[in-house]
Structure 1
Amino acid sequence: MNASSINWLLSLMHLFVASETILPRHKVDVLIYNYLQNGTDLTVHCKSKDDDLGVRLLAFRNYYEFKFRPNLFGTTLFYCSMQWDGRMHWFNIYTSERDTCTYCLWNVKPEGPCLVEYKKVTCYSWNTDA
């Protein structure tokens, strides 16, 4: 790599770091509530391309919460597998393309997860592709 390429790369890196400082990204708070039938535990395992958030066991009406900052490119994706009564489902719990919430409250029901935003509730089906 020649000197001008190195200088260009360093300038680009400096610009990226400066943009992170000057234009801080908002933080997103995701809460996942177990709203399966009474007495049914929910096992939740959430991941992104870069982070594995681990496995959590939620009793009925308990929740799991995680926070993150979406990337600058608008490609942030977190997906979760959810298991109860020997059945496993999965869902993209946060995707920059779909979600505009900064406080994303999800109620997990047998039919699928429901996003609760103010007075609006939007329910989704479980993902079906592998």
Structure 2
Amino acid sequence: MEVPVRISRCKNASFISLGLVQNICSPGAKIPQALENIAKKENVFRRMVSAFSSFHLVISTVVVILLSILVSGASKAVAGGQLGDTVVIKINNFPDAPLGIRCFSDRGADEGSRSVAPAAAYEFSFQSSDRVPARVYKCRFQWRSNVHDYIVYYQPRETCVECSWFVTAEGPCHGEVFSGDVKCHKWSETLMDGASQ
């Protein structure tokens, strides 16, 4: 950037630009050379300020984005993932007979009756919610002369978004078969604080 300067006299004249002071009338100084040096220094200074401002803007933007993500994540965190996540309940049949399943929620959702062949699976999904009371899904399992009701999803208890249940004659098992993290329960067990099956 060229700095326009008009000099009418050269007696003790100084040029001040962005805090840089240069005497452009010193003995033997060439005025155009002195102005060119000042302009170069000023351009370097401006580039440094611009680079620092750009760097500061980028860092500030990154910090704001990270804080936004953390705050929004913390406000939505619930057991079983995030509020509004799609929760998938998968029920696997291990008895050696067809398994009748009917699942329904405390909010009136009825998944209907299904018949699941041995070694087959049935699944349904829904959106998690922050409504009170907590979301609960109960299923009725029937095979041969056996009939059992069991709560397969209780939002405060769950830590899963894909919840797998394995039905056995002794009771349902909950967890991941491949990771070995499976917990089996008796049909009579209650898995909700203060609630009965």
TM-score between both structures, scaled by the size of structure 1: 0.74
Aligned pair partner of 1:125 in 186, 192, 195? 186
What residue in structure 2 maps to residue 87 of structure 1?
146
In the alignment, is the contact (CA less than 8 A) between 1:70 and 1:76 conserved in 2? yes
Unaligned 5+ runs, structure 2? 1-75, 77-82, 190-195
| One-letter identity of the residue aligned with 1:115 | H
Query: Number of matched residues?
Result: 108
Structure 1 counterpart of 2:170 = 111
Aligned ranges 1:17-96 → 2 under 5 Å? 25-37=84-96, 40-49=97-106, 50-73=108-131, 75-96=134-155
More helix by share: 2
Shift of 1:100: 1.1
C-alpha offsets along residues 23-69 of structure 1, whole Å, 9 cap, x if unaligned?
A: 662111110010113xx110000000220110000110111110111
Measured in 1, the distance between the counterparts of 2:104 and 2:188 equals: 15
How many Å apart are 1:99 and its aligned residue? 1.2
Identity of aligned residues (%): 31
Larger CA deviation: 119-128 vs 53-62 = 119-128
Change (3 A) 1:127 1:79: farther
Higher strand share: 1
Deviating above 6 A after TM superposition, structure 1's stretches of 4 or more consecutive aligned residues are: none
Instruction: Report the alpha carbon displacement of residue 124 of structure 1 after superposing the two structures with TM.
Output: 1.3
In structure 1, distance between residues paired with 2:181 and 2:85? 22
Distance 2:185 2:157 in 1: 12
Q: Which moved more, 1:114-123 or 1:82-91?
A: 114-123
Distance between the aligned counterparts of 1:92 and 1:35, measured in 2? 18
Deviates more, 1:113-122 or 1:85-94: 113-122
Rounded Cα–Cα distance in structure 1 between residues aligned with 2:159 and 2:135: 12
> RMSD value over aligned CA atoms?
2.2
Contact kept, 8 Å, 1:90 with 1:127, in 2: the verdict is no
Provide the TM-score with structure 2 as the length reference.
Answer: 0.50
